[in-house]
Amino acid sequence: MQTIHEQFVQTAEVMQGKTLFERPDQADISFARMRDMVERLAGALTALGVAPGDRVAVQVEKSPEAIALYLAVLQVGAIFLPLNTAYTGAEIDYFIGDAAPRLFVCDPAQAQAHAHRASATLAVETLGAFADGSLMERAAQAEPRADRHPCAPQDRAAILYTSGTTGRSKGAVLTHGNLASNTEALLDCWRFTADDRLIHALPIFHTHGLFVAANMALVAGATMIFLTRFDAEEAIGLMERATVLMGVPTFYTRLLKSSSLNRETTGGMRLFVSGSAPLLAEDHRAFTERTGHKILERYGMTETCMIASNPYEGDRIPGAVGMALPGISIRIADRDTGAELPQGEIGLIEVKGPNVFEGYWNMPEKTASEFRDDGFFITGDLGMIGPDGYLRIVGRDKDLVISGGYNVYPKEVEQAIDGLPGVMESAVIGLPHPDLGEAVTAIVVPRSDDLDPDSIRAALADSLARFKQPKRVILAEALPRNVMGKVQKAELRKTHAGLYLGTGA
Ligand code: MCA
Ligand code: AMP
């Protein structure tokens, strides 16, 4: 196995002056320049005392330099820990406490807010969106390092935090083998080559934008049209110079809203990929009608990278996520016994293969409870495999909301709301939303009369990232419960189904 860093170096050797990053308002960056940046950053990391196995936590705006930092961390054998830019100080406290990184890199604008974190064991540096910040200054002065720490497939490459059903975030530990094997499988399945020009409009602190989109371009030698955020009109305008778009379903909902989306504007594109949340079958069909392209939907998870994909050649079926990627096994299992179910029956989706993570950071018991004895990982998604062999996701066994491609665990939001004065209890649910797919919504039972929805939302601002905060708060006298006393979230979802769709509350 070659690590993603090793493959990038090899590709850069061949590509040299070819553009890796193309940006609307800034200079292009070639493969050769990127390689130089990675080597300098590797030198800076070593000078800062970052050793193999150390965690490097990074909460920075999207930039080519942030990708270079990721590669430099892999080069020196350290563990990359990217953090959503929306996370609040309180959330960062938890991640740093849990992962105990050697280095924390933040945006220069946040330097003051994070200065107190610096200690004998934790260095704090900055990196801005315009190659600014203390880390790039160090890199400019550093002795570039071309040598690399030798890494085996089972060595740790990254930790990605995902919230959990208990309300406590878990760090999914991904190995070099996980990342390299998944990229190899995707390059092959989606026929992705150096000739591709990828519209990259996803954030780079999650699997989709970093380990799917960026890794594929870095290894294949493709060019990324690198956008700081997704704007449908901008993306359509770029399509005549691009070949591939990878996005969450909200990208496609927004593209469909634009009158400029048609066969002509998308004519030069060869592939549209969707994932991270369910793509509405009606959006899939509408997209084909408007553009002639069939969106390729795939399925993945932070813990497993990509699991399944519709075929490149062959039918891309609306509402289905396709077949297991090469080398990966999927089975549908009985929730309680773990026994494999016959074809056509609905059960838990379980997965095994080189893509499956090592486990949760510092949580051996939690890790053990999510694996079967024979090594299959329990995804918590419910699905079935039809006679056509395609996997279809039909629901979730885990209490999870996916808003615009971001996961929000209701438990975490409920704990924050229940901790507010004047709140008796709360239930957080996802309701159908025309743009985000699902919108985080809180049903709150007040203890006192002076509690109002706006004050609850305002009170959460410092503790929860913006995308986790409820879009609406509904006050209620009581929560519906079953005879066992369990809150009936399905009933709440039914009662409020039309809240964001303009079809009643
Ligand atoms: C932004 N806001 C959101 C979201 N994004 N609220 C809920 N859910 C969201 N996803 C809030 C902002 O804080 C702001 O709130 C308001 O919505 C408008 O913000 P804006 O900047 O206009 O939003 P945007 O830039 O248009 O972003 C929407 C987005 C973005 C394009 C859907 O969230 C996005 O890029 N999502 C992709 C997430 C992703 O990469 N997921 C992959 C995870 P206010 O106005 O109140 O301040 S990896 C994964 O899931 C697995 C492995 C997989 O299979 O890929
Ligand atoms: P995350 O933990 O952020 O990696 O999100 C993983 C979850 O996203 C999966 O367990 C699924 O519930 C969901 N997901 C990803 N891709 C799809 C898809 N194509 N269709 C439906 N759900 C998806």
pLDDT in tens, 94-103: 999 999 999 9
Instruction: Quote the ligand 1 centre to 327 CA distance (angstroms).
Output: 32
Q: What is the CA radius of gyration of the chain?
A: 23
User: Relative to the CA of 393, which ligand 2 atom is closest?
Assistant: 21
**What is the pLDDT at residue 69?**
98
Q: Are strands 29-30 and 19-22 parallel, antiparallel or unpaired?
A: antiparallel
User: d(Cα 187, Cα 271) in Å, to the nearest integer?
Assistant: 13
Q: State if pTM tops 0.85.
A: yes
Q: What is the mean pLDDT of residues 256-264?
A: 98
Give SS3 for 89: helix
Q: Residues 185, 186, 188, CA angle at the centre, nearest 5°?
A: 70
Q: Which atom of ligand 2 is nearest to the CA of 303?
A: 4
Q: Quick check: 224 and 20 in contact, CB under 8 A?
A: yes
What are the pocket residues of ligand 2 if the criterion is a CB atom closer than 6 Å to any ligand atom? 162, 207, 275-278, 297, 299-302, 321, 379, 381, 393, 396, 402, 407
What are 209-240's pLDDT values in tens digits?
Answer: 999 999 999 999 999 999 999 999 999 999 99
Q: What pLDDT score does 360 carry? A: 97
- CB count within 10 Å of CB 136 equals 23
How many angstroms separate the CA atoms of 439 and 451, rounded? 22
> Measuring from each residue's beta carbon to the nearest atom of ligand 1, which residues come in under 6 Å?
202-203, 206-209, 229-230, 248, 250, 275-276, 300-302, 403-406, 436, 466-467
Question: Two tokens at 488?
Answer: 């009936």
Q: Please report which confidence band the pLDDT of residue 489 belongs to, taking 50, 70 and 90 as the band edges.
A: very high
**Percent of the chain topping pLDDT 70:** 99
pLDDT tens column, 159-217: 999 987 677 799 999 999 999 999 999 999 999 999 999 999 999 999 999 999 999 99
* Alpha helix stretches (DSSP H) within 85-160: 89-99, 111-114, 134-141
Give the other-Cβ count within 10 Å of 421's Cβ.
10
Chain segment 286-309, per-residue pLDDT in tens: 999 999 999 999 999 999 999 999
Interval between CA 169 and ligand 1 midpoint (Å): 19
* For the CA of 381, the nearest ligand: 2
pLDDT at 505 over 70: no
Give, in order, the Cα–Cα distances in Å from 417 to each of 89, 316, 438: 18, 42, 19
Token pair listed for 77: 């054998």
Separation of CA 261 and ligand 1 centre (Å): 22
Nearest CA-CA partner of 466 in 455, 454, 457: 457
Specify whether the CB–CB gap between 381 and 393 falls below 8 A.
Answer: yes
Q: Where are the alpha helices (DSSP H) in 312-449?
A: 364-369, 410-418
Atom of ligand 1 nearest to the CA of 250: 32
Q: What residues contact 74, with CB distance under 8 A and at least 6 apart?
A: 3, 4, 5, 80, 151, 157, 176
Average pLDDT, the chain: 96
Q: 504 falls in which pLDDT band (50, 70, 90)? A: low
Tokens of 195: 């000739």
Helix axes of 31-47 and 64-75: crossing angle, nearest 10 degrees = 60
In the beta sheet, which residues pair with residue 332?
349
Q: Residue 448 has what pLDDT?
A: 83
Check residue 383 and give its pLDDT: 97
pLDDT at 484: 84
Please choose, from the candidates 290, 230, 287, 240, the residue with its C-alpha nearest in 3D space to the C-alpha of residue 265: 240
Do the beta carbons of residue 156 and residue 186 sit within 8 Å? no
Centroid of ligand 2 to alpha carbon of 114 (angstroms): 32
- Of ligand 1's listed atoms, the one at least distance from the Cα of 208 is 55
**Segment 65-114, tens digit of pLDDT:** 999 999 999 999 999 999 999 999 999 999 999 999 999 999 999 999 99
pLDDT band at 503 (very low <50, low <70, confident <90, very high): confident
Overall average pLDDT of the 40-47 stretch: 98
- In the chain, the percentage of residues whose pLDDT exceeds 90 is 95
Pick the ligand that lies closest to the CA of residue 438. 1
DSSP at 263 = T
